[in-house]
Every structure is written in structure tokens, then in C-alpha cells.
Amino acid sequence: MTAPSAVKAALTSQSIETPSWAYGNSGTRFKVFTQEGVPRTPREKLDDAAQVHRYTGVAPTVALHIPWDRVDDYAALAAYAKERGLRLGAINSNVFQDDDYRLGSVCHPDATVRRKALDHLLECVDIMDATGSRDLKLWFADGTNYPGQDDIRARQDRLAEALAAVYERLGEHQRMLLEYKFFEPAFYTTDVPDWGTSYAHCLRLGPKAQVVVDTGHHAPGTNIEFIVAVLLREGKLGGFDFNSRFYADDDLMVGAADPFQLFRIMYEVVRGGGFTPDVAFMLDQCHNIEPKIPAIIRSVMNVQEATAKALLVDRDALAAAQAAGDVLGANAVLMDAFNTDVRPLLAEVRQEQGLDPDPIAAYRRSGWGERIRAERVGGEQAGWGA
Ligand code: LRH
Ligand code: MN
Ligand code: MN
């Protein structure tokens, strides 16, 4: 059994990155519900992210999405973040919301469109230089809808060419994280549909290219913790985009749909030595019907709870049961940890850090929600795609 003090120390060392887009308006393809008090600018998104960090103590970085968070001066935005006790995190590229990308971006059959997409990716690395960000997160909507529409293999070659150009451009301490998703918006082929394709490209590129696992991007029934175990074993897990899914890429709060799966994933992270800064724990969520800031606080807490349970697994007892072929005993060790109520432990950890043991209650008492609803009137609300 890991000593509680070691578990507590590990919990305080964890950081969970929140996405700028989770603070803005979002919705499904049927409707974007606007909410009062939602940020109008990247700076206001950082103001909200500072609240999440203030009450959780473990969310010091914020991921940006370009062009949703386009500003004239990224160094100034980084300074603004710093004044609020934050840092700018991963830069997420966006080559999926332009009419030119109807047939793809870096895999498009037309070289002019491919060049435009590549230029955007390179611009994102320029932004990383200005913000001090380490990670470039790449997700491509590229794919085809109909058999025969384009050459599957040629598209892989085009993808490899663009990725190599981005890799070349990375600074010494920068990385590229290649995200996969099994379908949507392309429905017949997707150019990076699974971890194997992402892994194959990253392996060719080199150590600064890593796979990122978005927990919502798998077919139902996929064993995500197995993927995590394999990628960690290969030294190729760069991070997570955490969220929950019931059906497809639902982007619901992490740990809401299946806390047991999140625990199993976190156990493989701990087991595989992935509980280090080299594995980025990022949220990628949208809060369409619930108030956003408390939902993000809840999500951060859900990751913490799964992590705490994973850290509590009695690994000696588990190894002994496994070696003895004690199937039920081994399973019971894992289930004991999962069934532990870690909320008192996390409350204690927060109190020891001078935080309120109940971050959501503390946020509600702070009056921030009322304040932004009163102050943020007029102007265009920022949102997914805005
Ligand atoms: C794609 C994705 C990717 C994008 C984000 C907004 O579905 O997960 O990470 O950048 O959503
Ligand atoms: Mn994602
Ligand atoms: Mn997604």
C-alpha cells in the first residue's frame, strides 16, 4: 500500500490543463446555447481559468486554440496569464474550419491547400515561441466520405510530409502531439483514425513527436487503458485530452460517464511511470447546458479522484496475487482502491495547501459567477468556432 503521505505528495504535484474553449459558448450541431457572463476575449477566458486554479490549486495552465484565441500579441497574453498565476499551455492548431479544407487540410489533393494548412501549423509554432508553450497539439479532420474519393496511401504520404516539416521547425524543448479520432467529420476514411496510425507517424518523426489520447475518440468498447499501457511502454504517450463519451465525441465532463474507466486509465499511467510532466493531462470538453466554470472545477476534481484511487492501489499485493494466478484476489485489490472514498483525502490535501476543501462551494460563495454575468454585457461572446 502506498503511504498516504506519498499519495498526498503525488496529488499536489499533478497539474491538469484546462482548455480555453471550454469557457466559451458551445453546443451540438443542432444548437449552440448561449450563456450569460461567458468570456468575450481570450483574456476573459484566462480570468475564468484563474478561478478554476484558485479553487483547485492544480490547474495552472490553459490550452489555446488558434484561431479561436487569436490575438495581436501572444507574449502580452502570456504576461496577462502570468499576472493571474497561470501559464499558457498547449497550442491547438485548427485546420478544420475553412472552406478550403472541404477535402482535407495537409492531406488535401491540391498542393496549394496543403501549403496553406502547413503555414498555419508553422504559425502555431511561432505562437509557441511567444507564449513559451511546450506542446503543439495537432488534430486533423482530414479523411474521405466515399470509397474511391481519394487515394488512401497518397494521403498518408502527404500527411507525413507536412508532419516532417512541422517537426523540423520545433525548438529544442518543444513537442508535437498527434491526436487521433476514429471518425467525424469524415465518415469513410479518416487519415489519423487510431493510435496505431498516430504512433507510426510519431515513431518515424522522432522523440519530439508523441501520441495524444483523447478519451472520447474511440469506438465503443475500446480498451483505452490498454492503449495507454502500450504507448507508455514505447515512450510515446505525450498526453491526454480528457472528456467523457456515451456515444461518440460527446465532450462531456471527464469521469462523468465512466469513472471506473478513468480510474483504469490512471492506474496504467501510474503503473507505467507516466505520472510525470512528460504526460500532459489536459481537458478537452464543452459545457453546453451546464454552467461552465463549476463544470470545469468538477472535471478537475474528477481527474484528481481517479488519480488518488490509482495511487492507492496496493501494487505489492496486486503483483503477489497476479504472480500466484489469483484471479479474484488480483481483481479485488484493484476494486478495493476503486471503491475507496478518496474525497476526505483530497479535502485534506486541499486544506494542507491552504485551499477550501470544497472547491465548488468556495467558487459559488465567491460571487464570481454573478459578477461576470453583470459585467460581461455587450460585445461578441467567444465560443467554439468563434
Ligand atoms: C477534435 C478535438 C480536437 C480539437 C478539439 C476542439 O474532435 O478533440 O482536440 O482541437 O476537439
Ligand atoms: Mn481533443
Ligand atoms: Mn474531440
Q: What is the ipTM of this complex?
A: 0.99
Residue found by looking up cell 488535401 in the block: 108
- Please count the CA atoms within 13 angstroms of the CA of 334 that sit on its side-chain side: 17
CA–CA dist 167, 159 (Å, integer): 12
Q: Angle at the Cα of 148 (from 146 to 150), degrees rounded to 5?
A: 95
Burial of 259 (0-12, 13-18, 19+ CB in 10 A): middle
- Give the integer Cα–Cα distance in Å for 209 and 174: 9
| Ligand 1 pocket: which of 21, 23, 68, 92 to mutate (most atoms within 8 A of CB) | 92
CA of 186 to the centre of ligand 3 (A): 13
Q: Is 290 helix (H, G, I), strand (E, B) or coil?
A: coil
Answer left, alpha or beta for residue 198, where phi above 0 means left and psi between -120 and 50 means alpha: alpha
193 half-sphere exposure, CB direction, 13 A CA radius: 16
pLDDT score recorded for residue 381: 76
Neighbours of 209 (CB within 10 A): 25
* pTM assigned to the model: 0.98
Q: How far is CA 137 from CA 133, 240, 284, 288, in A?
A: 11, 10, 12, 23
The per-residue pLDDT for 386 is 58
Model pLDDT, residue 385: 64
The ligand with the least distance to the CA atom of 249 is: 3
Q: Which ligand is in closest contact with the Cα of 184?
A: 1
By DSSP bridging, strand 189-190 and strand 143-144 are antiparallel
Report how far residue 212's alpha carbon sits from residue 356's, in angstroms, rounded to the nearest whole number. 32
- pLDDT digit string, tens, across residues 193-240: 999 999 999 999 999 999 999 999 999 999 999 999 999 999 999 999
CA geometry: angle 14, 66, 63, nearest 5 deg: 10
> Do 143 and 188 contact (CB within 8 A), yes or no?
yes
Q: What angle do CA 108, 180, 284 make, to 5 degrees?
A: 115
How close is the Cα of 241 to the center of ligand 2, in Å? 5
How many Cβ atoms are within 10 Å of 4's Cβ, its own excluded? 13
Q: Which residues of the chain register pLDDT less than 50?
A: none
pLDDT at site 380: 76
Burial per residue of 188-204, b for 16 or more beta-carbon CB atoms within 10 angstroms, e otherwise: ebbbbbbbebbbebbee
Would you say 106 and 157 are in contact if contact means Cβ atoms under 8 Å apart?
no
Would you say the CB of residue 142 lies under 6 angstroms from ligand 1? no
From the CB of 284, is ligand 1 less than 6 Å away? yes
Give 265's Cβ-side CA count (13 Å radius): 30
Instruction: Report the pLDDT value the prediction gives residue 269, as an integer from 0 to 100.
Output: 98
Mapped onto helix, strand or coil, the DSSP state of residue 212 is strand
- Of all protein residues, the one whose alpha carbon is nearest to atom 11 of ligand 1 is 284
The closest residue, in CA terms, to atom 3 on ligand 1 is 139
The pLDDT assigned to 2 comes to 65
DSSP-assigned beta bridge partners for residue 244 = 252
Residue nearest ligand 1's atom 4 by CA? 139
